[in-house]
Structure 1
Amino acid sequence: MNPTNMLLLTIDPVAAASAPMSGEEMILLTLSIMLLIGTLLIGVVAVYLMLILQKALVGTQPVVEKSVDTRPLWMRFADLQPLSHEKDLVLEHSYDGITELDNPTPTWFMGLFYGTIGVAVVYMLVFHVFKVGDLQLKEYTDEVAIAEVAREAYIAKVAGNINENTVAYVKDTKALDEGKGLYTQHCVACHGAEGQGGVGPNLTDDYWLHGNTIKNVYRTISEGVTEKGMLSWKRQLNPLQMQQVASYVLSLHGSSPPNPKEPQGEKASNETVATR
């Protein structure tokens, strides 16, 4: 257990009671506390010595009357000097006649710089030490989980109880149009725009490799055919969409597309084709 976790256990009595510290952990905790206290004491002593040294140096220097700053407010804010003061800012060294001005870094820029350091410290404490907030990866994981729940709810609402055993052939024009759109988007590359076949088999003849009923076609779309190179579409399409695609595929039977692929598989009986 690291020192940070041990400090957290001392803050939370329930956690401390449930996970008692061993002797080694107690030693580490004691050393950590002593190191923290020692660091704070060193810092306080250093600041005190700096104040004493500053007073001593100020006391040995002659008092010089400060000149009145006549720069406009915007120039003072940006730590800019007027052009007339340029000769007072030139540094001693030069390179091929090129001189450098001793312009300080603007106050606003230093404020931003130290502000980013402060933000980084707060971020580290909140997200990595005390773990109050969630990191981006955790937020992404949570959002994906919420989206998955919403997706499942949508599928359950729209698709109902459609599965391999309950799927039915749909004949209405709207459902077939939806199936055609999905077929065009996902299936044309292998089966052709009109089902004539290509890499995949011809879908318009009487011959079928994996059965020609709506349940057979639905299962083929859902599970895929690994040995033939066909992907499983159940992760990309919900049950309703697979039913629509399967119905559209069966609606292509008997059409006469150009350049049909040679028959593959077993010829379906007329009764099976009629009942689907």
Structure 2
Amino acid sequence: MNFEIKTGEDLFLIVVLCCLILGALALMVTTLHLYLTVKQAFPDSSKKEVDEPYQYSSLWHRIMGLRPTAMNDQLMLEHAPDGIQELDNPTPGWFMALFYGTIVCAIGYMLYYHVLGPGDVMNQEYTAEMAVAEKAHEEYLKKFANSVNESNVTILRDEKAIEAGKKIFDQNCTACHGAAGEGKVGPNLTDNYWLHGGTINAVFKTIAEGVPDKGMLSWKKQLNPIQIQQVSSYIFSLQGTKPAGAKEPQGEEVKTAPDVAKR
């Protein structure tokens, strides 16, 4: 694997990594040196007496670094805070191996995730998972979009759906109906007058099939049923907004429309 230092951050990470490795080695060497120095300066006169029972301890005691209970009197420390007696047992070997193992794992982790770079850090994993979720969402829409039609369509009232409808409206409808639905070539969509029906079913059908004799295109080939439902819902959310320069009413007035969305 080739590694190239491209930025100052890469160089900084390498320096930090080298310092960690050298620090870990220095800590181990210093600990060993201190242990040997103390052991040499203060020889244990009772070593023979202490080690004799130890050589008869079980294999489990040896693996776990435990001293047999027969040695408790010899290992007892003089101080007893609050009457609690303490034994001078060394740190088990398995624990020290685990401790040094975590240092090795940390160095490997830094190399893999932050220096050599083949691993994914959390934000990269999040981005990848979001891309997978978005793809699954698109497949879901493609699979179930055709289940919506002019007979069963309902007004969507959640903000996300309305925002999606607004985006579709801005991209495709403003040339004829105005940016605020005030009407240009096409009719005003913000009042209570409708040329082809004032229900969600009628508006859905009008968008899907178009009005060829009035110059309105059919959008069922460019938009799927879910998108037509979203833009229809957005149109109903424009009711009563009274934008500036609104076109005069056209068609029949629908005074009460029970399915009109409330903003």
Q: TM-score range by the shorter chain?
A: 0.3 to 0.5
Q: Which has the higher contact order (CA 8 A, sep 6+)?
A: 2
Q: TM-score, normalised by structure 2?
A: 0.45
Q: TM-score, normalised by structure 1?
A: 0.43
